[in-house]
Amino acid sequence: MPRILGIETSCDETSASVLSGTGDDVKLESLVILSQDVHKVFGGVVPEIASRAHLTSIVPVVSRALGDAGVTLDDVDAIAVTSAPGLIGALLVGVCYAKALAFARGIPVIGVHHMEGHLFATALEHPDAVPPFTGLLVSGGHTLLLDVEEWGKYRLLGGTRDDAAGEAFDKVAKLLGLPYPGGRPIETLAREGDPSRFRFTKPMVRRNDTAESADYYQFSFSGLKTAILNAVHDSEDLGSDKADIARGFQDALIGSLVEKTFRAADAFGRTRIVLGGGVACNSALVGAMQERVSEIGATVFAPRPRLATDNAAMIARAGLFHFERGERSDLDLNAFASQPIPGLIAA
């Protein structure tokens, strides 16, 4: 049974993981995630600081992952590393380290697309979160709606025209004076909010939309963000309106995510919906999604927070898939800030 060491350094988490298995039958042997708290004081990730922090942590994080799994590099068959997309300096730390380790040990290295990793994350804890399914990936940098016929075959249905879903949470949190990252603070505050006070329009959802409409599966969150900005400016007592505004924002954003995902599942006859990315930690999203897709007899699978946010287990899992298909990267593997997800087929 192949054993993979996964490495993830695309943003502000230094992470390493060991897993082994074949096909969808895998065992997670260890997962270490070191989050760089330093960015909190800047209200966002500072790329140069992120790269330097990865440099300091990568060796101990990888050693710890191997130690927790009770293995050494001699027991590892391949190293999977996030090579795109992400912060270029941050990605390079992982890629250079993985290549050096692979070269020194004479084992293969496999570059993994970060978003393909997110797609595999849920399957690590839910054995049924496997293709065919409708996938919704919602993170700080990306919003992707995909139809997944089988692993490695992805139909990209929709993306965002402007801000990513997590980015919208983070920017609105800033407007409301909440800490970074803003997803969880908004979710907590929205729970106390009155849903009837601020009703914002669900972005890109029109009643007369048809599958032929250009925006049928597309997202856009910057208009909603402006609507929140106006509500904040117009508020005479932000302290008491804050929770209601947070609730109105979250309901509108979730409404859009749920409607588009429902359309995709319905159109392709999928009965499984797999969520991934940091925003998939939001329980209001998971609840609203389950309620809506129940109409077509579908089930929603969401990863627990540790696997929803950036982690190396999902990179190792996607790496195992490519390893088993005989795919390897060369030692000239490079990092790319942006790159389309591999395995795209015509929509």
135 binds, among Zn ion, ligand KG4, none (CB under 5 to 8 A by kind): none
Nearer to ligand KG4, 135 or 277 (CB): 277
Nearer to ligand KG4, 6 or 166 (CB): 166
CB under 8 Å, gap of 24 or more: what pairs does 147-151 form?
147/264, 147/268, 147/270, 147/347, 148/119, 148/274, 149/345, 151/120, 151/321
- 5 in Cβ contact with 76 (< 8 Å): yes
Q: Give the strands of the sheet with 78-84, arranged side by side.
A: 25-35, 13-22, 3-8, 78-84, 109-113
* CB of 288 vs ligand KG4, minimal distance in Å: 12
Minimum Å distance from CB 176 to ligand KG4?
13
With CB under 5 A as the contact rule, the residue among 12, 163, 244, 310 that binds Zn ion is 310
What DSSP letter does each residue of 111-139 carry, written as one string? EEEHHHHHHHHGGGT-TT--SSEEEEEE-
For 24, left (φ over 0), alpha (ψ -120 to 50), or beta?
alpha
Supply the minimum distance, in Å, between the C-beta of residue 284 and ligand KG4.
8
- Residues near ligand KG4 (CB under 6 A) are 11, 139-141, 166, 169-170, 181-184, 187, 277-279, 281-282, 309-310
Q: In whole angstroms, what is the distance from residue 315 CA to residue 318 CA?
A: 5
We find the least distance from the C-beta atom of residue 61 to ligand KG4, in angstroms, to be 16
Partner from ligand KG4, Zn ion, none contacting 82, C-beta within 5 to 8 A by type: none
For Zn ion, the closer of residues 33 and 231 by Cβ is 33
Footprint on residues 173-212 left by Zn ion (CB under 5 A): none
Residues that bind Zn ion (CB under 5 A): 139, 310
